[in-house]
Amino acid sequence: MKKQKWELWIKNRDALERDFKNYLKKGTIRKGATNIEIEGHLSKAKRNLRFSRRILDDLKDFYEWSIVSYYYSVYQAGLALCAMKGYKTKSHIATISILIKFFYPKHITKEDLQTVIKTMVAEEDIREFVELKNYREDATYSISIEYEQGLAESLGEKAIEFVNKAERIIKGE
């Protein structure tokens, strides 16, 4: 089975750097994010968490939309972390490259270490980010997968953990 790009990046720093530079060259990743964008993405992540919970509590039976919204809460938190490093992206895989480049523990700089010492984004968190993205795609495009409340609740817990971790990293706790 072929490894996904993000799995290669975790193992091969040169591949990550090469792809990161290509994303910059193509404009998939852009420099120039501001503090307003950091706070805006984090705020939207929290709003999506609240919306997802309301879907589960009030609308019942719309679990796939809860999953989609939970994914976007994680994605927005990821964008907040990207902005924290001065980057903007609208590409999911480019966002993951930034998370690995700047927050993955095996490759963290001394400056980054001071910021994320208590709340490092570990490989498991990156796997959960990708897993949640895959569930979002299935929930959006597939008609063959039935989603149960338990799955939505489980993914919600992962999303909440990731958003809270991103907020702790941003606040330097």
In the predicted structure, residue 110 carries a pLDDT above the cut 50: no
Place 14 in a pLDDT band, splitting at 50, 70 and 90. Answer: very high
Q: What is the pLDDT of residue 107?
A: 39
pLDDT in tens, 58-105: 987 787 788 888 888 888 988 999 999 999 998 888 988 898 899 886
Establish if 135 belongs to a structural domain.
yes
Q: Is it the case that residue 120 has pLDDT exceeding 50?
A: no
48: domain range? Answer: 5-168
Total of domains in the chain: 1
Question: Greater confidence, 92 or 20?
Answer: 20
Q: Taking a C-beta distance cutoff of 8 angstroms, is the pair 106, 161 a contact?
A: no
- Residue 152 inside a domain? The answer is yes
Q: Does any domain span residue 88?
A: yes
- Amino acid of residue 166: A
pLDDT computed for residue 4 by the predictor: 74
Q: What is the CATH number of the domain that holds 150?
A: 1.20.120.330
- CB-count burial class (<10 Å; 0-12, 13-18, 19+) for 77: buried
Q: d(Cα 68, Cα 39) in Å, to the nearest integer? A: 22
In a domain, residue 173? The reply is no
Residue 173 or residue 17, greater confidence: 17
Which are the contacts of 80, defined by CB distance < 8 A and separation ≥ 6?
37, 38, 39, 41, 42, 45, 166, 167, 170
Indicate whether 35 belongs to any domain: yes
In a domain, 28, yes or no: yes
Residue 119 pLDDT more than 50?
A: no
Q: Report if residue 109 sits inside a domain.
A: yes
User: What 3-state DSSP class applies to 59?
Assistant: helix
33 within some domain: yes
